[in-house]
Amino acid sequence: MKSIGARLALWYAAASTVTLACLFLVGYYLLRGYLIHGLDLLNQSEFEQIKARLGPDYSALSSAVIDQRIRETTEYASVLFYIDIHSRDTGTIFYSSNLKGRPIPDIKGARRYDVDWDVGPLRVGEFIMAPYDVAIATPEAQVEGVMEGYAGVCAALLILMLAMSAAIGLGLSRLALRPVRLIRATASRIGSENLSERIPVPAVADEISDLARLLNAMFDRLEASFKNVRRFAADASHELKTPLSLVRLHAEKLLAGGTLNHENEEGMQTLLEELTRVNSTIDELLFLSRAESRSITLELAPHDPADILANFNVDAQVLAEHHGVHFPYSHEGSGQALCEPRWVRRVLLNLLSNAINASPPGGNIRLRSRLTGELWRVEIEDEGAGVPSSEYEHIFDRFVRLKSKDRQRLEGSGLGLAICRGIIELHKGRILAETGSNGRALRVVFEIPAQPPPPRAPSLTPDELAPATSR
C-alpha cells in the first residue's frame, strides 16, 4: 500500500480487532466455567434435597422405600436431573426414570465431570452418602446454547470493531500525518526563488518536529551555498569586469591617440578583440554557474513556436547563405510552448552555428520542429562527419570543443552547447545528441514543455458563419 496513512489505519484496525478477539476468547472460557459451576451447584442442591427427604436413618430403609421417596421428590424434575444411586455392595438402588435403566457413566477419581450422553453432554456430580454413591447429572444444553449466543454476538462485535477501528484509524492517521503533509507541501514549494522559506516547526518536541528541524537545517545549508554561488557570481563580475573596463578604455585611448605605429596599432586591436572574447567567456561562465545554481529565473510564458522559428529563420537563412549551406526548416502542430523566446533564439543560433561549422560546403542543415500536446521538440541535423556516439554525453559539458573533421578547426569558447543545455534545463526541458538519419552526422534534439491548445469553440456551420444579409 502506498499511503502510510492507510497502512497505519490497517495496522491499527488489525491490532485492536485481534486484542478484542483475545478478550472474547478469555471471556468465553470464564463464562463457560461460571455456567458449569452453576450446574454443579444445582446438582449439589438436588443432592441435599434427596438427602433431606431420605432422613438421617436412610441406611436402615429398604430399597423400595428409598426408591419411592426419591421418586416423590424428584420425578417433577426428571427433565432436569438424572439420578443414579448405587451401593458398592448391593449394586444399584435407584435410577431416575429418564435414565431408562442405564447407569450414569462413572469416571473414577473425579467428583465433577462432563460426559457425552445420547441426549447431549451432561454435567455430573458425585456425592457420598455412605454406603451409597449418588450421581446426579444435569444436561449442559442450556450452557451450550448460551455459549453459542455469546459466540454469535462476539463475531458480530468483532466485525463492527474491525470496521470502526479502520475508520477511526484512518482518521487518526490523517490527523497524525498532517504535520508530514505540511512538511511535504512546504518543502516542495521551496525553490530557488524562495529559499528563505522554512517549514513551520511545532512547539512540541516529537519525531515530526525533529524531522522538520532537520529539513530546515538542510535548507539552511542549501540556502547558504546558493547564496555563495550568487555572491561568487556577483564578486567575480565586479572584480573581473571593472579592471577589464580599465584595460579596454586605456587601449582605446592609445588607439585614438594616433601615436602608435602600424605594428603597435595591430597589436592593440588584437588586444581589444581578445578582451571582447575574454569578456564573453566570463559572461558565459557566470551564466552557467547561475543556471546550475538555478539563480536565474526565466519568464516562461506561452509563445507560439511558429513565430519564434519564423523570426529565427530570417537570420538563419542569411547566415546559411553566407556560409554556403542550405537551411530548410519545417514546423508542425499548433499551440504554445512555455519559453522565453530570446533564450530559445540563443539556443537555436548556437546549434545552427555548430551545424554550419560541421557542414561540408553546399550541405543541408535540417531543422524539424514539432509541437504536440505537451512537448515542443526541435531537431537540428547537419551533414557533417558527426561525433562518435561515445561523446554524445560529453558534448554538453563545459569547454568541450566539437572538432569538425572536414575542416579540422576548433570553434568558439567551448561553452556553446553547455549554455544550450543550461538554457533548455531552465525551461524544464532536455537536450540530447543523436546520430543523424544518414547514420553518421550529428543531430541535436531539444524538448521544451508545451501548453496544450485551448479547447476550440464549437465549430459553426457555414450557414451560421454567413452574414445575415446574404440570406
Partner 1 sequence: MKILIVEDERKLGLLLKQGLSEAAYGVTLAATCAAARDALCETSFDAIVLDLGLPDGDGLELLRQWRRSGFNEPVIILSARDAVQDRIKGLDFGADDYLPKPFSLQELLARLRSLLRRQASVKDTVLEHRGMRLDLVGRTLHFNGQPVDLTNREFALLEIFMQNPGRILPRTLICEKVWSSPYDVDANLLDVYMSKLRSRLETGGDKPLFKTVRGVGYKLQ
- List residues binding partner 1 (CB under 8 A): 233-234, 237-238, 240-242, 244-250, 252-253, 256, 269-273, 275-276, 279-280, 283, 286, 290, 296-297, 314-315, 318-319, 322, 342, 345-346, 349-350, 352-353, 412, 416
> What is the closest distance, in whole angstroms, from the C-beta atom of residue 346 to partner 1 in the complex?
5
> What is the closest distance, in whole angstroms, from the C-beta atom of residue 451 to partner 1 in the complex?
23
Q: Packing angle between helix 4-54 and helix 141-189, nearest 10 degrees?
A: 160
Residue that the C-alpha cell 497505519 belongs to: 8
351/348 Cα distance (integer angstroms): 5
Contact 126, 114 (CB under 8 A): no
DSSP 3-state of 411: coil
> What is the closest distance, in whole angstroms, from the C-beta atom of residue 429 to partner 1 in the complex?
19
Q: For residues 272 and 432, which CB has a smaller minimum distance to partner 1 in the complex? A: 272
Contact 211, 238 (CB under 8 A): no
Task: At 317, list the grid cell.
Answer: 537563412
Q: For residues 342 and 428, which CB has a smaller minimum distance to partner 1 in the complex? A: 342
111/130 Cα distance (integer angstroms): 15
Q: For residues 233 and 358, which CB has a smaller minimum distance to partner 1 in the complex? A: 233
Q: Which residues contact 78 (CB under 8 A, 6 or more apart)?
A: 96, 97, 98
> What is the closest distance, in whole angstroms, from the C-beta atom of residue 237 to partner 1 in the complex?
4
H helix or E strand, kind and range, residue 368: strand 366-371
Which own/partner contact pairs does 322-325 have at CB distance under 8 Å and 24+ positions apart?
323/356, 323/359, 324/361, 324/362, 325/356, 325/359, 325/361, 325/362, 325/363, 325/364, 325/365
Residue that the C-alpha cell 445575415 belongs to: 468
Q: For residues 48 and 235, which CB has a smaller minimum distance to partner 1 in the complex? A: 235
> What is the closest distance, in whole angstroms, from the C-beta atom of residue 194 to partner 1 in the complex?
15
- Of 287, 286, 442, 275, give the one whose Cα is nearest residue 354: 442
Q: For residues 31 and 229, which CB has a smaller minimum distance to partner 1 in the complex? A: 229
Contact 134, 83 (CB under 8 A): yes
> What is the closest distance, in whole angstroms, from the C-beta atom of residue 427 to partner 1 in the complex?
15
Q: For residues 53 and 248, which CB has a smaller minimum distance to partner 1 in the complex? A: 248
> What is the closest distance, in whole angstroms, from the C-beta atom of residue 246 to partner 1 in the complex?
6
Q: For residues 249 and 466, which CB has a smaller minimum distance to partner 1 in the complex? A: 249
From the centroid of its chain, how far is CA 409? 52
Which own/partner contact pairs does 174-180 have at CB distance under 8 Å and 24+ positions apart?
174/5, 176/8, 177/4, 177/5, 177/8, 179/208, 179/209, 179/212, 180/4, 180/208, 180/211
3-state DSSP helix/strand/coil % of the chain, to nearest 5? 55, 15, 25
295/426 Cα distance (integer angstroms): 10
> What is the closest distance, in whole angstroms, from the C-beta atom of residue 329 to partner 1 in the complex?
16
Q: Outline where DSSP puts E strands in 45-150.
A: 82-87, 91-95, 112-117, 120-129, 132-139
> What is the closest distance, in whole angstroms, from the C-beta atom of residue 224 to partner 1 in the complex?
20
> What is the closest distance, in whole angstroms, from the C-beta atom of residue 456 to partner 1 in the complex?
33
Q: For residues 174 and 345, which CB has a smaller minimum distance to partner 1 in the complex? A: 345
Q: For residues 315 and 393, which CB has a smaller minimum distance to partner 1 in the complex? A: 315
> What is the closest distance, in whole angstroms, from the C-beta atom of residue 379 to partner 1 in the complex?
19
423/430 Cα distance (integer angstroms): 9
Q: For residues 1 and 256, which CB has a smaller minimum distance to partner 1 in the complex? A: 256
160/470 Cα distance (integer angstroms): 75
Contact 450, 376 (CB under 8 A): yes
